[in-house]
Chains A and B, each alone.
Chain A
């Protein structure tokens, strides 16, 4: 049975004899020209910004980030809009006082409105003596009206 850990000798030899290439005479000078150009681009404040952009922002798929932020924002707006539409009051809101006479009237008017909308006070009505079957220990018997 053949082992999968290594190749038979003829294949191993083919791999071994595969030509290796050497660098051309201009290879090094070209690398350094490109590296020098790159380091020039990284000089100064603009260079720093560029480097930060290349390293930090390019690497995190900025467009995906922007896309998700925008779509998230749109979705939130949609939810808010829907909520506003559902809870929109059917009667118009009372106008706010705009000038000194209406401002002067506002206080008593609001007070009256406040009074009118208050539920009537609950009063304890004691039961009549003949309605009571028996006298309670505390002597209280009746209802809230």
Chain B
């Protein structure tokens, strides 16, 4: 009880500190600083994982793994970008790795009957399926900037930092992504 109270008071003290100070303390293994740093992005990272993996359990696992990796690689973070942008990049790389593994597993289990899967599909809203299908039609290079822009509200510079591509490329990819997405969306609606 005493420990949780002291942790809470530490958290309060640290909450108003600058990111650099929080980072310094987190690097030294201060749990309260780490909690604040990671807690600020918890929901965003979890949802990013869900939007890429489309599976809540896998998304939780990926988000947790992202935070562990962030802790592991914290000494390498030099503050050249925002901490949240760095965290997005870690999460994105991890989710893409996991997605490839999941896709391989899905392909090998495709012939097996799966009632839970069909129930899950039935429960989905039509719009959501249409949206997911349209996103699936896009190549990864177009899908990722679109997800970061539309769902996470990142600006061009932030997307460029997360994906490590030039800002001009982000703009052109976003335009191409919207154009292709709209074509697929309209084709689905016509059916």
Contacts and interface: CB of A to CB of B under 8 A. Distances in A.
Interface string A118-142: 0000000000000000000000000
Interface residues of A, number: 29
Interface string B4-43: 0000000000000000000000000100001000100011
Contacts of B71: 35, 38-39
Interface stretch (B83-91, B108-116, B126-134, B158-166): B126-134
A118 to B, nearest CB: 69
A104 interface: no
Contacts, number: 79
Given A4-B179, A23-B46, A14 B131 contact: yes
B131 A15 contact: yes
Interface in B138-169: 150-151
B76 to A, nearest CB: 6
A55 B76 contact: yes
Contact of A21 (B59, B73, B150, B182): B59
Interface residues of B, number: 35
Contacts of A8: 182
A19 B59 contact: no
A31 interface: yes
A20 B29 contact: no
Main secondary structure of the interface of B (DSSP, over half): helix
A19 to B, nearest CB: 7
A19 B47 CA distance: 9
17 contacts: A4-B175, A5-B175, A7-B178, A8-B182, A12-B150, A14-B128, A15-B150, A18-B128, A20-B47, A22-B43, A22-B46, A31-B38, A31-B68, A34-B64, A34-B65, A55-B75, A59-B76
B175 to A, nearest CB: 4
Contacts of A35: 34, 67-68, 71
Dominant SS at the A interface?
A: helix
Interface string B39-63: 0001100110011000010011001
A15 B127 CA distance: 9
